[in-house]
Copies of this chain bind each other. A is one copy, B any other.
Amino acid sequence: MSARAGKVVCDLTVSLDGYAAGPGQSEERPFGDDGGDGSGATLHAWMFEDADENRAEIDLLGSARAFVMGRNMFGPVRGPWDRPWNGWWGDEPPFHAPVFVLTHHAREPQPMAGGTTFHFVTDGIGAALERARAAAGDGDVAVAGGATTVNQYLAAGLIEELRLHVVPLTLGAGPRLFDGVPPLELAQVASRPARRVTHLTYEVLG
């Protein structure tokens, strides 16, 4: 018997009004009208510009042993995989673990430098999570985003720990965390203010 010790977690950076990106996303502006240049840099300044201050949260972010993500988070290609696309992150993505990408279009696994392999899952969120759990062993599985994918997993009751990184701006539109998710009961696990972000960690009770 090998009881799984790992959890299903979700880290998401959101504006104070709960948006994980602004409206009008495109290949050139993957985060749309995000209060900056559309690259997500404004929302994620806590990670890139204030890395020292937020080291604990950044380390935790990278500690999952497998990831699940939606196709929009993986890239802008829609429909069949008719042009080369290996994610937004260059040759060595920051996951260093298997990443299960939700899609309706089958594709062979894509190994990358640094230990990341993108796997393409066509049979739904439950199947993707099962494959990620198997790959993670006793480590954590992270639902990496975007908000639409996170909402599907929350609605299905499949996320155990939610770690929100709340940034002091509002976006007013875009993909919104909790949109369409039935009411949840949560327990506060931790809450830590940093200079330009507040880290809120919740256990999802049901």
* 10 A-B pairs (CB sep. < 8 Å): A16-B164, A16-B186, A17-B178, A33-B183, A169-B186, A171-B183, A172-B181, A188-B193, A188-B198, A191-B191
Please state the number of chain copies in the assembly: 2
A156 within 8 A of B: no
1/0 per residue, CB under 8 A from B, across A178-206: the answer is: 10111111111011110111101010000
- Decide if the interface of chain A is mainly helix, strand, loop or mixed: loop
Interface contact A202-B16, CB-CB below 8 Å = yes
Interface contact A178-B172, CB-CB below 8 Å = yes
A150 within 8 A of B: no
- Which residues on the B side are within 8 Å of A185 (C-beta)? 35, 168-169
1/0 per residue, CB under 8 A from B, across A152-179: the answer is: 0000000000001010111110000110
